[in-house]
A and B are shown apart, each in its own frame.
Chain A
């Protein structure tokens, strides 16, 4: 076997690597996801119809999608600021800031969860300040947004940063020298090439945020129809042994996340083909 491949392709190991790769992907990814896709239909359409008439599910999806969108939207200017500072500013401690930005990626979600719940809780460092101003964050949908902002921030920074690095600073200077106001300069010169990575970063953050669980449930309050996120409702349905209900929510979340990822991939292809204003690779 190896010999015939050797002659044809010049490099051994094709059959070995195919075998191991297929077993690995097949058992860990394809098999369980097949179960996810097939399960809702196996008990007939009536069950699915009942599941799709569940108001609590739509409420949870609405909470998840709107909070994720809002959090990712707030992260866009913050992420742009951080990326800009990393690339362009004379920033003392750049390496430390650079490393800190990846912290939300690395910090276990349960740690993030109990920390933010304490920080924004009624007696927490930030929560107490906000309480004096009459604002409640913890145990409300605002708490969900705060947690998701933390989770989504690195996606924006890391999407914008490489593109910004590839833009010559002379571009902005030329704009200013030609008499543009700083605002005009930002809108007409700086923003257009950064738009594709900002959209990509937003989509990646959004896709991650709609599925987020651990960092949210401690701060969210988890009231059905009000501050209950979709991933939590999956867990609730599983505890009720309602596998169909859980699977239906899971499929909707999964498809939404996949659509975001496909969108990002398409956007990146367009940018690299030069159809959209282009930064460096």
Chain B
């Protein structure tokens, strides 16, 4: 192994640290400093405000449902796409990955086109007093769209690699589909599944644009954590806004770290 010369390496390392510090570390540092500007107690109290607590609860509820639906759908789709060969497989994969390239604002807009007052089914819903847009169901739908591909996407390459011999053997030994999936396929793919679930969770908790479009922005009622941050920030409640932001940043960093450990373990296990 050659590697760069000593002087070149020093320049490279210095440049890297400088970039990482200025672009990536400084923002995170700022979140923490601003959150603790009035002390830990004030930050903590701001999180216990009824509207803040309601935002946290709504975020967790929506995230839980989104993770369950998209993990289940993702497992089904990954099984279908990796265990069988059929025409249109590539198109199906492209469709699954499509939401990644859709702007969050559009991910909210599409639901208004269906369920908003001027949407296709707006009148019908109005007559039957069912509220989807500007209420919790709309927030859930937007979150489902935004977090749609992650579990399927992390599972597919791994399950493709696994082939289908183990499943065929399990089946010959008399196991049915669900049993084979639960006992043979998923245990082998558990790190990828976990990694995908983590990614889904992080995206669901932090989603802003999509949810912002379909939420009524009513504090204490239809505000998720990121939306509540916007309300607080625009209302000049800086400490409270950054306290909530710090909470979300910590969740984000924990997710990144956990996934990097998972990947590390996975690489070690597969090599």
Contacts and interface: CB of A to CB of B under 8 A. Distances in A.
A266 interface: no
Contacts of B248: 107-108, 110-111
Contacts of B225: 108
Given A90-B13, A111-B248, A235-B105, A106 B113 contact: no
Interface string A81-123: 1101100111110010111111111111111111110110000
A106 B12 contact: no
A246 B109 contact: yes
* Interface SS of A by simple majority: helix
Interface string A156-191: 000000000000011001000000000000000000
Interface residues of B, number: 90
A114 B105 contact: no
Contacts of A112: 27
Contacts of B144: 28
A72 interface: no
A91 B103 contact: no
Nearest to A264: B101
Interface in B89-130: 92, 95-96, 98-99, 101-106, 109-114, 116-120
Contact of B103 (A78, A213, A261): A213
A89 B252 CA distance: 27
Interface residues of A, number: 90
Interface in A1-24: 2, 6, 9-14, 16-18, 20-21, 24
Given A11-B168, A89-B16, A116 B27 contact: yes
Interface of A: 2, 6, 9-14, 16-18, 20-21, 24-25, 28-33, 35-36, 39, 78, 81-82, 84-85, 88-92, 95, 97-116, 118-119, 124-126, 149-150, 153, 169-170, 173, 207-208, 210-214, 218, 231-232, 234-235, 238, 241, 243, 246-247, 250, 253-254, 257-258, 260-261
The 3 closest A-B CB pairs, nearest first, are A211-B103, A108-B206, A24-B73
